[in-house]
Every structure is written in C-alpha cells, then in structure tokens.
Amino acid sequence: MKKILVTRRLLQSNEERLKQLYSVKLNSNDELYSQKKLIEMSDGCEGILSALTDKLDAETINKLPKSVKILSNFAVGFGNIDIEAAKKKNIVVTNTPEVLTDATAEIGILLILGACRRASEGIEGARASNWKWSADYLIGKQLTGTRLGILGMGRIGKKIAKIAKSLGMIIHYHNRSKLSPDKEEGATYHKELKSLFSVSDVLSICCPASKETINLINAETLEHLPKGAVVTNVARGDIVDDEALIDALDRRKVYAVGLDVYKGEPNLNPGYLKHKSAFILPHLGSATKETRTAMANLAIDNLEEFFKTGSSKNKVN
C-alpha cells in the first residue's frame, strides 16, 4: 500500500477515504508544518497531498525524498509550489480546478457588495447599537449601472460577471486573449490594462498569481482607475502591492476595498485597519462543505489517477 503525507487536516469523510486507499500520515492537529518538518514527514512517502499554505520552493523540493513522485495540491492555484523545480525532479504537480468556481465567485460578489455598501461600518454600528437613521447614513455605491472591470476572465471571473450582470452591472474585462462572443455574454474586452482600469468603477481581481502578475496592482496601475473606484481581490494576495493600495485609500483615490486574500496571510497589513471602508475576509473563497469536500476528493482522484497511469488530467507541469 502506497504511503501518502497529508499536510493539513481535511474533512472527516475525505480522510476516511484516504485511509481506505493508502497508508496515510494525517495532520490531526492541523499544524502548519515548517519546510524542515514537511521534508522529514515525507520520508518514505510516494505522494504528498499539499495545501496552499505549504511553501514548496525549489530548496524544499530538492530536499524531498526520492520516493516522492507527486504533489497533489489541495487548491486551484499552485503558486506555493516551484513548478520547474518539481519538473526537474520528475515530480508531478496537480491542482483542483473547476470544483471551487461557484463558491469563490459567491465570495467575489460578497466582496463587491460589502465594499460598495459599506458593510464593515454597518456591522460595527449594529453591534455597538450606536447608529441613528438619517437620509445620509452610510450612503454607499449602488451596483446597478456601475461598471465592473474583471481582471482575468477565467472560470471564476466569468461566474462573477454572470452574477454581476444580473445585478445590473456593466461588464468589462481584460484577459490574455479575447473570449468568443458566446462566452463574453455582452462584456467589453480591453486588450490593455490601462484601458480596463480607466472604466472600472469596481475592479474585481480574478487572475492567477504568476511572475507576471505579482504586484500588478501597484502605485502606477492604480492611478488609471477612476477616482473613488472600489478594488476587490478574490485571487491571490501577491497580485496587490498593499502599500500602494493603502496609499490610494489614504488619498481617497480608492473609495473602498474588498479583500478575501492578502499578502502574509493571516497577518493583515495594519494600514488596512485604519480604514473603515476596508471589507476584509479570512480567505473564505472555497469555504463551503460541498466545495471543500469536492476539492479534497479531486486531490485524491489526482493521486489515484497518477498511481494508475503515471499522469493526471489535472497535471500542471
């Protein structure tokens, strides 16, 4: 029976399935393994079911036991893994696409609503029981008729666009390539970032994290937004230069932000805490029972497929 290391705790049904299939090392305390401990724990293992919180950089991958042949990442993203280093060591890397689209898009819409309608301030006032109704109390931005710029029109971006369109938003997008008209569903394509940002009353960041997109939202690109724009991020924290975005909030260039992801999670840049207009969530994108179960099952399917065939349809390297 093959031996598998599971680096983070999964839902019980998924762990029970793993026990039936493999000799499995589970993380019952849900400890965040150091890179050193992860290497030690993987001794004798042929596969690792990793999580986005595991930093599998080149140094770590090069120190993994020779027995490890697959990293089945419990995430749609794989920015935590040095893909090239894994490839050089003949380690297959897989991810869990598609199954988290709906749940993550729902959070994307929540970020837009929460930021535009000043939800953080409203929750604070309600809990403190110190609010008084008036005609101008917590006036926010209405979505109907507002231009939504989607940065990255992949599965999640398209789902957000579909929901936002039903709310009366006008959809614009930037992608590596223009979608076919049937997939655009009336959205306007912008080849250049500057063009997209200039029409984005609300910017929804949905693109993958990569070398090209690190700090893509920075002091220069933020200046292309209309004054008083809203910025939301449901993708990865590395895409945003936090200091630049906080400065834009300070100057009121940006009206509000809605973030489900940010650099240094779980440690939030304290600059955001100065702003009541910052609507921040603790990386809840895929956090439904249905989605987390499906993600883990797909990660297990990837392991099974690899051990049976030597490859996987969800291989990313």
Active site residues: 236, 265, 283
Question: What is the β-pairing status of strands 202-205 and 188-189?
Answer: unpaired
Say which DSSP state 189 is in: E
- Omega prior to 226 cis, within 30 of 0: no
| 113-to-38, 204, 218, 231, 273 alpha-carbon distances in Å | 39, 12, 23, 11, 19
What are the two backbone dihedrals, phi and then psi, of residue 209, each rounded to the nearest 5 degrees? -80, 130
Query: Beta-carbon neighbour count of residue 176 at 10 Å?
Result: 10
From the CA atom positions of the chain, what is the Rg in Å?
21
| 211-to-121, 153, 216, 243, 305 alpha-carbon distances in Å | 35, 18, 10, 19, 30
Distance CA 149, CA 234 (A): 13
Q: Which residue in this structure is represented by tokens 């910052």?
A: 278
Structure tokens at 168: 């009366």
Do 4 and 25 form a contact (C-beta atoms < 8 A)? yes
